[in-house]
Structure 1
Amino acid sequence: MKAAEGVQRVALEALVHGACVMKRWMMLVTAIPLAVAGCGGGDAGESATTVRVERPPFNADRAFQDLERQVAFGPRIPGSAGHAEQLEWLETELRSLAHTVFLQPFEHVTVDGNELALTNVIARFGPADGSRLLLLTHWDTRPKADQSSDEADRELPVTGANDGASGTAVLMELARMFNEQPPPGGVEFLFSDGEDYGPSTTDMFLGARHYIAGVGSENPPAYGILLDMVGDADPSFPVEAYSMEGAGQVVQRIWGIAAGLGYRRFFPMDQTSRVLDDHVRFIEAGIPVANIIDFDYGPGHGFWHTPRDVVENTSAQTLFMVGDVVAEVVYRNR
């Protein structure tokens, strides 16, 4: 993703489990002081008769363990040992959880002439036919820390605890939830490869492009949600501009549900600048995909594409909040 500006930071306050019960189903909630008055608010555009489906809670500890596991593989740069280990882990785990799992291998030659062997991982839950919701994230990491303020570090690979591992960790835990309690409609997961290779955009968003040219053109999803950089220990998820322009109804649904769950403070409707990311390729193809992203990562945006994108700068609490919102969107997807 490219630089964005004007993102307003909101400090994360303590997330306390069990503070209130959300109508029929919610046995575990996160209470954020002053975020929302009371516990009963619904999301914008939903009727008063909307029924929440019983669902298991999002397990933040397990998701965070998945984040740590990915980091332990090492950098997940295409062609690296860490990349191969992560691919094997993704496939093995998902085959134990999803109805259908398949790999989408492809190759790409970079502008520098490097030949990359890449693989998208696709998993499906629920009905095989009919419309479906796409949840996507990228699982690769940046080869070079080109945004580091220290020139000596710019040739180092990025660990990708937030930019790479966080979205994958949330989706893996959602996969366990959907295995335990199937969602009411069809859901497809896309773990895209080659999103962050770079440095030019010609060598980025590779997995999204390949998916759209294949699966996405033959049987496109109705709409989608992209998770990118969703583990920041100091989170704020304002509305990304491309998302509002190309997937406005999806944005209204996500941010409305977030407000109803008590996360309005961390999902402000303030609109931030445009961020080039996988979702833009989908929007260009006529598929509305909204991006949940905290692009203001670290003081002065100083952790993005640097050696400081590490586990210590991420939080299980943030994974919980994002996973809780996306789970609610999916289980209301009727």
Structure 2
Amino acid sequence: MKNNLNFLIKMPLILSFLAIISMGAGCGNQSNRKANVQKKETLPPLPTPEFNADSAYAYIQKQVEFGPRVPNTEAHEACAQWLTNKMKELGANVVVQEGKVTAFDNSVLSIKNIIAQFQPEKNDRILLFAHWDTRPFADHDPDPAKRNHPIDGANDGASGVGVLMEIARHLKSHPTHPGIDIIFFDAEDYGIPDHLDIPYKQDTWCLGSQYWGKNPHKKDYYARYGILLDMVGAKGARFHQERYSLQWASGLVDHIWDTAARIGYGNYFIFDKGGYITDDHVYVNKLTGIQTVDIIEYDPTNNSSFGKYWHTHNDNMDVIGKETLKAVGQTVLEVIYQNQY
């Protein structure tokens, strides 16, 4: 899925990203943020709906039933159609952004970024996103014979989408003060596989969010902030504070983690630093200037820093825990309905 590279490897990216963001701070994005804050402060919190973990679990299971959702496959196409239709049923104005991207091996992938807009008429917006594709290789599977086969991606892909679909289920009948955009990014997990002897190449991950960042679905699109959900459903998962998120959106990180602690999920949201994760939020930050936070599992006891199932064929429904889904989903709902950031 995404590379969890060490700090020294990431330093050039960090410096370039910080330069981009500092340039944007004096431009229109900063004034947009100020305008949004003023608008937000005049509106009171709203009652927070109850997140249904059973519903989120069912959405995850449905995705897995299609099989691996790898671009250019029938399962990928079928799942895209289901996601599109389901988000329309949930009351969203849906835009399917289709495009062509080039993978690390020069293969051309047909991608679909699925963009669900709630209250699209509003300028004040919040962006929630996850990736819906799955890894075409099980490059960390303990069985070498299985490493070239795609994975189910129950947690790495489907869990974030399932949580966001359950959140979407509330947005029509219980609208938030700001408009909400939910984006399911494609081709996030098509990066260079670790089990093959291929030189490292930048920007082979997160191809869908790179495409969207350069070609937003709406001219001059901007959101107050963004929250990425990735690998948010594993039993016993813990969420440390991802370091790129701390660089670009430390206030939002603190607000989300404080919110989780306040409503009883502080044992899931750990007030400690995680790793630098190359994930969709990196490109949303880099290409749009929207401050975003990555809520992603972090396990310092594993070499990968992720769960033992990561990029193996064990990433199936057996790893999904409803308690974890509840902790993440209820926290995000509380953040967007309380309207305090």
TM-score bucket (shorter structure): 0.7 to 0.9
* Partners of 2:118 and 2:320 in 1: CA distance: 29
Match of 2:318 in 1: 312
Residues 270-322 of structure 1 show CA distances to partners (whole Å, capped at 9, x for unaligned) of 01111110111122232110000003399664211111111101111111111
Match of 1:230 in 2: 232
Match of 1:296 in 2: 299
- The answer to which of 98-107 and 238-247 deviates more is 98-107
Match of 1:203 in 2: 204
Structure 1 regions of 5+ residues with no counterpart? 6-48
Task: In structure 2, give the amino acid aligned to 1:225.
Answer: I
Aligned pair partner of 1:328 in 325, 334, 338: 334
Task: In structure 1, give the amino acid aligned to 2:204.
Answer: D
* Partners of 1:297 and 1:190 in 2: CA distance: 29
1:1-334 equivalence runs, <5 A: 1-3=2-4, 52-126=45-119, 128-199=121-192, 201-215=202-216, 218-285=220-287, 286-296=289-299, 301-333=307-339
- CA drift of 1:217 comes to 6.2
* Partners of 1:202 and 1:239 in 2: CA distance: 23
Task: In structure 2, give the amino acid aligned to 1:292.
Answer: I
- CA drift of 1:226 comes to 0.2
* Partners of 1:111 and 1:198 in 2: CA distance: 7
Aligned-partner SS, 1:270: strand
Aligned-partner SS, 1:305: coil
Residue 308 to residue 302, structure 1, CA distance change in 2 (3 Å): same
- CA drift of 1:103 comes to 0.6
> Please, what is the CA RMSD of the aligned residues?
2.1
- The answer to which of 153-162 and 127-136 deviates more is 127-136
* Partners of 2:61 and 2:300 in 1: CA distance: 18
Structure 2 regions of 5+ residues with no counterpart? 7-41, 193-200
Aligned-partner SS, 1:268: strand
Higher normalized helix content (fraction of residues): 2
- CA drift of 1:201 comes to 4.6
* Partners of 1:327 and 1:116 in 2: CA distance: 34
Question: Normalising by structure 1, what TM-score?
Answer: 0.82
- CA drift of 1:212 comes to 1.2
Aligned-partner SS, 1:219: coil
Question: Normalising by structure 2, what TM-score?
Answer: 0.81
* Partners of 1:208 and 1:142 in 2: CA distance: 16
Task: In structure 2, give the amino acid aligned to 1:315.
Answer: G
Q: Does the aligned pair in 2 maintain the 1:297–1:303 contact within 8 Å?
A: no
Residues 101-122 of structure 1 show CA distances to partners (whole Å, capped at 9, x for unaligned) of 1110000122323111000000
Identity between Structure 1 and Structure 2 (%): 38
* Partners of 2:111 and 2:239 in 1: CA distance: 29
- The answer to which of 251-260 and 195-204 deviates more is 195-204
Aligned-partner SS, 1:68: helix
Q: Does the aligned pair in 1 maintain the 2:206–2:279 contact within 8 Å?
A: yes
Q: Does the aligned pair in 1 maintain the 2:48–2:338 contact within 8 Å?
A: no
Aligned-partner SS, 1:222: coil
What count of residue pairs does the alignment treat as equivalent? Answer: 292
* Partners of 2:64 and 2:328 in 1: CA distance: 20
- CA drift of 1:56 comes to 2.6
- The answer to which of 206-215 and 226-235 deviates more is 206-215
* Partners of 2:223 and 2:43 in 1: CA distance: 23
Q: Does the aligned pair in 2 maintain the 1:136–1:191 contact within 8 Å?
A: yes
